[in-house]
Chains A and B, each alone.
Chain A
Amino acid sequence: MIEALEPVRIGLVLVFVLLGLFFTFVSMTGVIRLPDIYSRAHTASQADTLGAGFALAAVALVIGWDGAGFKSLILLFFIFVTNPTAAHGIARAAFEEGIVPWTEGDDRR
């Protein structure tokens, strides 16, 4: 690793960790606050995937050019593929079970 680039790397790690925390916070707020299963699946598949991706990118940057670093990159790719797929499957199962989507004026939370 080139020595002069080390501060850049540390700064990127800090930025990625903070972004990951922020997007996971957005996802948590959505999962708690949104009214029905479909909107919750929406926030769980997008904001949470992005948050996990940023955090795993930070981990890969910390570990560096190493076998474990590649493992965390594989983990990142895997989460990016499977998390939206799982949310889609859950929302589809909810639709097949006949849960009606939330519309304005509906009081359930």
Chain B
Amino acid sequence: MSLVDTAVVAGYTVSDVLLLAAAGFVVLAIGMLYRAVKGPTMQDRVLAVNVLGTNTVVILAILGAALSEPTFLDIALIYALLNFLMAIAISKFTVERGGVL
């Protein structure tokens, strides 16, 4: 019996708790979407999408652990790489001189 099937409280397993936490992270991500839609400047939107991407990585990793699918961690790794590349590329190529790092 693996750890995710162990009961924690009142018959709920670790897997249930992790799925509940993933749902909480999804709710927080929807809250951050407000800034991505409204944000007065372009950099506000990029920052909000960057935070959303980090949130997505966490959700993918938690789902991979809760559903016992280790493949999700590979997807999360690639998503983190693309997220970082997106933030750096947009902030580098929207300013004139481009020396953001």
- Could you list which residues of chain A lie within 8 angstroms of chain B, going by C-beta atoms? 6, 9-10, 13-14, 17-18, 20-21, 24-25, 27-28, 31-32, 37, 40-41, 44, 48-49, 51-52, 55-56, 58-59, 62-64, 66-68, 71-72, 74-75, 78-79, 82-83, 85-94, 96-97, 99, 108
Contact = CB atoms under 8 A, between A and B. Distances in A.
Interface residues of B, number: 54
A75 B65 contact: no
B10 interface: no
Given A49-B54, A59-B64, 4 more contacts: A51-B58, A55-B58, A79-B54, A93-B95
Q: What does DSSP make chain B's interface, helix, strand, loop or mixed?
A: helix
Nearest to A64: B3
A20 B58 contact: yes
Contact of B58 (A52, A93, A108): A52
A108 B44 CA distance: 13
Given A31-B32, A55-B61, A72 B50 contact: no
A49 B48 CA distance: 14
Interface in B39-78: 40-41, 43-44, 46-48, 50-51, 54-55, 57-58, 61-62, 64-66, 70, 73-74, 76-77
